[in-house]
């Protein structure tokens, strides 16, 4: 059975790009255009993988990632962060939230900084599949 | 009426990260989420004879805005804040209204309009249009280079202009909810000269005394929540006297309730909130009366 992957990104061009690469690599793609609808879809569809943007309307990838990794039923879903901000800034933002009293969470499996080539994303998908 | 989420509307030339930084003490209240909005005006990418829709220009403008916002967002994320972004092509006011509905924002921050007198007369100012349509408070930020004053924290010492309208009384509650952010508030009521026409000196004193007593009651309400408050009564033209009071009190922000005049009357005769928002050197917060947001549009 093909694995399900959800692309959460507000940029339609990036959604198209990610969907094309996912299809080519044997995934069934799903899409959401902001953090809130992304979380709803994750809960409803329980995808095997989430490709997550960071800067989005409604809820950022920083908070959505945290929500995923602190929710028992969702924390094993693999995540590729495909964000605009530097990985260093993403990790610092998570650290800041931890300092404000939130739980500690693991680093994302893979962090890719936009823009990426299709081969880079395909390589990341391969790594995730193991 | 806490400010948890603010919408920061910028074209970059009038509002920079520096302006946003000056508002970050709102975190001592309830602020936790900033949403950046950049609207690329349609005519910048519209169809041109021989070239069609300027898609390349749209991509260039989007990318330029995105790069700026990424930098700002990294800064805020690293402080533990939540950040969102809208970069859209359209007309400024409808897009800002749409984003504030989607985000359920508590405050819109926008820079002063730079249109000329003629442009204002024929097409109106975006800021004024936004003040008319917004159902949440709007802060019209004045950039430091436009003013002779240096405002480090606009919400530190606001001047609250009260005309006893429902919206100005709502502004009282709005500022009260900012305890921890506001250090001191000055309340001013301007008695218009035309209301005193022909009145004797004793009548003027009586009016002043009545206004003072009413203001004192509001001051007590502020003191009760730990905000220092002082009342003032000025006589004259409200637009001018509010500015004078702001200078006298060394204020950092002028706060007014929005006008109840119709859009048509405001366009031709103006209104005090509109004039202060557009002309004052001080950042100006306009609080609308309580009303429901319009139905969400996609």
Q: Residue B70: its chain A contacts at CB < 8 A?
A: 55, 84-85
Contacts of B181 (CB under 8 A, 6+ apart): B25, B26, B28, B29, B155, B156
The interface predicted TM-score (ipTM) is: 0.90
Cα–Cα nearest to B175, from B128, B213, B133, B137: B137
Give the single-character DSSP code of A91. H
**Cβ <8 Å between B77 and A92:** yes
Query: Which runs of E-coded beta strand occur in B97-246?
Result: 107-111, 138-141, 158-161, 184-191, 228-235
For the entire predicted model, the pTM comes to 0.90
Would you give the end-to-end CA distance of chain A in angstroms?
17
Residue, of B261 and B254, whose pLDDT is higher: B254
The two tokens of residue A40 are 């709803």
Give the single-character DSSP code of B286. E
Residue owning tokens 């990418």 = B45
Q: Residue A100: its chain B contacts at CB < 8 A?
A: 80
To test the contact with chain B by mutation, choose from A89, A92, A100, A114 the residue with the greatest count of B C-beta atoms within 10 A, namely: A89
Average pLDDT over residues B185-203: 78
Q: For residues A112 and A82, what is the distance between their CA atoms, to the nearest angstrom?
A: 5
Name the packing angle between helices B126-133 and B272-279 (round to 10°): 140
Share above pLDDT 70 across residues of chain B, in percent, rounded to a whole number: 83
Average pLDDT over residues A101-120: 92
Cα–Cα nearest to B285, from B142, B146, B184: B142
Average pLDDT over residues A5-12: 96
The two tokens of residue B105 are 């924002």
Closest CB to A86 among B35, B74, B86? B74
**Cβ <8 Å between A57 and B103:** yes
Please count the residue pairs, one from chain A and one from chain B, whose beta carbons lie less than 8 angstroms apart: 55
The pLDDT tens digits for B256-287 are 998 665 555 555 556 888 889 888 999 999 99
Domain spans, chain A = 3-120
Q: Which chain B residues in 198-257 lie under 8 Å from chain A, judged by CB atoms?
A: none
The pLDDT tens digits for B215-247 are 999 999 999 999 999 999 998 889 999 999 999
User: pLDDT-derived band of residue B86, with 50, 70 and 90 as boundaries?
Assistant: very high
Helix (H, G, I), strand (E, B) or coil at B139: strand
Domain A3-120: homologous superfamily in CATH:
Response regulator (3.40.50.2300)
Strands B284-287 and B138-141: antiparallel
**Cβ <8 Å between B85 and A55:** yes
The answer on pLDDT for B144 being more than 90 is: no
The answer on pLDDT for B48 being more than 80 is: no
Q: Which chain A residues in 62-101 lie under 8 Å from chain B, judged by CB atoms?
A: 62-63, 84-86, 89-90, 92-93, 96-97, 99-100
């Amino acid at each position: 059975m093909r694995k399900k992957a959800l692309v959460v990104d507000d940029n339609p061009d990036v959604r198209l790009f990610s969907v094309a690469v996912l299809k080519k690599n044997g995934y069934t793609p799903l899409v959401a255009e902001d953090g809130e609808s992304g979380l709803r879809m994750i809960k409803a569809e329980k995808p095997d993988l989430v490709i997550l943007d960071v800067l989005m309307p409604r809820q950022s990838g920083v908070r959505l990632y945290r929500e995923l990794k602190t929710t028992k039923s969702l924390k094993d879903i693999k995540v590729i962060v495909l964000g605009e901000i530097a990985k260093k800034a993403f990790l610092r933002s998570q650290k800041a939230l931890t300092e404000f009293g939130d739980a500690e969470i693991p680093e994302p499996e893979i962090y890719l900084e936009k823009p990426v080539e299709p081969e880079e994303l395909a390589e990341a998908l391969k790594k995730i599949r193991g | 009426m806490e400010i948890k989420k603010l919408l920061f509307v910028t074209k970059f030339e009038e509002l920079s990260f520096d302006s946003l930084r000056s508002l970050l003490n709102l975190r001592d209240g309830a602020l936790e989420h900033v949403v950046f909005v950049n609207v690329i005006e349609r005519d910048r990418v519209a169809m041109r004879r021989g070239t069609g829709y300027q898609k390349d220009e749209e991509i260039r403008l989007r990318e330029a805005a995105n790069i700026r916002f990424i930098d700002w967002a990294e800064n805020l994320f690293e402080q533990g804040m939540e950040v969102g972004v809208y970069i859209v092509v359209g007309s400024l006011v409808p897009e800002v209204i749409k984003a504030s509905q989607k985000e359920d924002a508590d405050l819109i921050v926008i820079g002063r309009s730079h249109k000329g007198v003629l442009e204002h007369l024929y097409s109106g100012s975006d800021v004024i249009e936004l003040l008319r349509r917004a159902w949440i408070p709007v802060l019209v930020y004045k950039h430091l280079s436009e003013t002779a004053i240096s405002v480090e924290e606009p919400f530190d010492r606001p001047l609250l202009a009260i005309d006893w309208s429902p919206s100005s009384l709502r502004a009282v509650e709005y500022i009260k909810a900012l305890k921890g952010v506001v250090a001191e508030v000055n309340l001013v009521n301007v008695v218009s000269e035309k209301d005193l026409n022909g009145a004797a000196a004793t009548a003027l004193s009586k009016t002043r005394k009545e206004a003072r007593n009413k203001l004192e009651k509001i001051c007590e309400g502020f003191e009760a929540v730990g905000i220092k408050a002082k009342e003032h009564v000025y006589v004259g033209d409200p637009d001018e006297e509010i500015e004078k009071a702001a200078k006298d009190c060394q204020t950092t922000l002028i706060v007014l309730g929005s006008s109840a005049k119709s859009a048509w009357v405001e366009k031709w005769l103006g209104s005090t909130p509109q004039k202060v928002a557009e002309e004052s050197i001080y950042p100006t917060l306009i609080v609308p009366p309580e009303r429901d947001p319009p139905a969400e549009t996609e």
